[in-house]
Structure 1
Amino acid sequence: MPARGGALMFVTGPREFLAAFGSGRFPVRHAATARGAFLVAPASADLASESAQDNRYMAAAPALDLARAARQHAELARRLGEDVPVLTFPGDPACPDGLFPNNVFATTRGRLIVGRMRHAVRRREAARTDVRGFFRDVLGYAQTDLSPRTDLVAELTGALVIDRARGIGYCGLSERCDEAGARAMHEAFGLGLTFCFALADGEYHTNVVFALLAGRLPLLAADGFRDAAVPAAIAQAYGDAVHLGDAHKRAFAGNAIALAPTRAWLSAVAAASLSPQQRATIARHGFALGEVELDEIEKAGGSLRCCVAEIF
């Protein structure tokens, strides 16, 4: 049942979501894509053993080829710079998952949000003073810090896919985000509506099974959701979707992002997994495909969208 607080709504069922989405209360009000982005350079060849406990997308390889990962990451930053200004913070060898900063840091207009990570190895990332200082002292952003909280898990835009244009969040529950974390993010991002649902067993982040391109087109892997009615409702709300199978999901085709209204970015492996019909649907909604080689980075269990922290 929906929980209402003033103009804010937090719902947990597909019917309630569709009723809220169709109510006319959440029109397009804001820019759908970011003003900029930041990345964190890979700095460790190690794969985080803690993260491997609940991330089945991590490779069985003992380590990354760090030089190759760094080259791919630098090329990613260069290519994304075609759409928005991009800056790269240095990595920390003690934080092997640090190259996926969107789980730890996120922004709304004028505000930095710091997440509460499940694993200790990732909680180290939240303590970075350079990222916090950049947003506080250079950009003048306020801060909402969830990292000290011990009563929730909230891995930000790994767990939460956001329709920025309408102020609607889609939050998948797993070991990486519980309902308390979902509610805390609902408030921290100032969302008008959050649809909260369970991911399928074995899924760790929503942004591996669901991408929303510029508030217009969902990419959905239905088997990544515990209840198939959830992705069906999301597709119905937006009037169309690119439906992904298990092979697409394992190729990280659901880990996409649009940083400009007319381009969707995917890793080269993810893009290669798409059928001509899927590509045609993406093009019909006004998106060209941008592709970047990230196969070395993908061994760490994330892909292109995981590498990108958006600046709004």
Structure 2
Amino acid sequence: MITRDLSAFVDAARGCAADFGSATARAAFLVAPDGFAHAADSARDNRYMADAGSYDANRALAQHRGLHRALSACLPTVCFAGDPAMPDAVFPNNVFATAPGRCLVARMRHPVRQREAGRADIRGFFTDVLGYALHDLSVQPHPCELTGSMVIDRARGLGFCGLSERCDEAGARLMHDAFGLRATLVFDLAPGEYHTNVVLAVLAGRAALVCADGFADPAVVEAIAGLYAPHALRLSAGARAAYAGNAIALGDGLVWMSVGAGHALGEESRQALRAAGFGLATVELDAIEAAGGSLRCCVGEIF
């Protein structure tokens, strides 16, 4: 089922047991920020991006290496080389995603990012090394930027797809089918928001971080928060701007976000995470955040 009908979605979601699959990834992949620079195409619809003079390529490389080291202590994590012709490639979760036995390739909105979808090394890693079937959405016309636009509850097979210039309704349906989800809720993001995973995180299927000002319709916020109550954490506009919503659970008991995002969480939110059974791990990523994304955007999940 894929729908905009909140009542129908909530009824279906409440009937979905947490038996769809593993709640968190078994491994992760990254793409190094080689050639890290301002991408003018992406800046057209990503208000979080800094101006070109604010980019520090050396600091971004060092911080990304620190992220790789930190994640590798938690789960197997591979890192592909970057390419100066692809300055946004540090955010691979928008371009490549997995479901068990399948690799999905996105249709990206901007040409600078469409080049990433053609990378033979990443495609070959999934098809030739892991033996995954390729589900290539990059050759059709509808933008559908995978787990940037679609936040997924992997435990229950639920999708939360926010529409923007980066994903239209046809793209949402293509992703729903490609991921094989049980039910997907489609909704509009607030004006100026580009990806759902900046304003919503579902943590191991049992908690959610929700930035209410990132949604066009407050009723959608209430519906999602109700599904994950009592472990739905509502984040302030300041926490959203610091990328606290751009978080990910890796393993059943640890939530990862940037140092800046962690500082923006209030003590009440930290206590709420602990009540949901999560510790908090943070990595310094301020240089990478100049490009308009944070830790979640850097992490591709392997299921």
TM-score range for the pair, normalised by the shorter chain length: over 0.9
Matched, 1:201 2:191: yes
Give the equivalent residue in structure 1 for 2:3: 11
Cα deviation 1:58-77 (Å, max 9, x = unaligned): 01242521111001001101
Cα deviation 1:252-309 (Å, max 9, x = unaligned): 0000001111000010000000111000000111110000000000000000000000
Q: Could you tell me which amino acid in structure 2 is paired with residue 159 of structure 1?
A: S
Q: Distance in 2 between matches of 1:136 and 1:28?
A: 26
- 8 Å CA contact 1:46–1:63 kept in 2: the answer is no
* Deviation of the 1:26 alpha carbon: 4.2
Give the equivalent residue in structure 1 for 2:71: 80
Aligned length: 302
Give the equivalent residue in structure 2 for 1:156: 146
Cα deviation 1:118-144 (Å, max 9, x = unaligned): 000000000100000011111000000
Cα deviation 1:168-220 (Å, max 9, x = unaligned): 11000000000000000000000011111100010000000000111111100
Q: Distance in 1 between matches of 2:27 and 2:242?
A: 26
* Structure 1 unaligned residues grouped into runs of 5+: 1-8
2:207 aligned to 212, 217, 221, which one? 217
Matched, 1:242 2:233: yes
Matched, 1:282 2:292: no
- 8 Å CA contact 1:46–1:62 kept in 2: the answer is no
* Deviation of the 1:231 alpha carbon: 1.3
- Pairing 1:121-160 to 2, within 5 Å after superposition: 121-150=112-141, 152-160=142-150
- 8 Å CA contact 1:26–1:192 kept in 2: the answer is no
| Range moving further from structure 2, 24-33 or 139-148 | 24-33
- Pairing 1:62-141 to 2, within 5 Å after superposition: 62-141=53-132
Q: Give secondary structure in 1 for the equivalent of 2:291.
A: coil
Q: Could you tell me which amino acid in structure 1 is paired with residue 145 of structure 2?
A: E
Q: Give secondary structure in 2 for the equivalent of 1:260.
A: coil
Give the equivalent residue in structure 2 for 1:261: 252
Q: Give secondary structure in 2 for the equivalent of 1:170.
A: strand
* Deviation of the 1:13 alpha carbon: 2.3
| Range moving further from structure 2, 94-103 or 236-245 | 236-245
Q: Distance in 2 between matches of 1:68 and 1:232?
A: 39
Q: Could you tell me which amino acid in structure 2 is paired with residue 191 of structure 1?
A: L
Matched, 1:40 2:31: yes
Q: Distance in 1 between matches of 2:11 and 2:243?
A: 31
- The alignment's C-alpha RMSD in Å is 0.9
Matched, 1:166 2:156: yes
Counting aligned pairs with the same residue, the percent is 57
Relative distance call for 1:197 and 1:26 in structure 2 (3 A) is: farther
* Deviation of the 1:238 alpha carbon: 1.4
- 8 Å CA contact 2:16–2:156 kept in 1: the answer is no
What TM-score, normalized by structure 2, do the two folds share?
0.98
Matched, 1:55 2:82: no
* Structure 2 unaligned residues grouped into runs of 5+: none
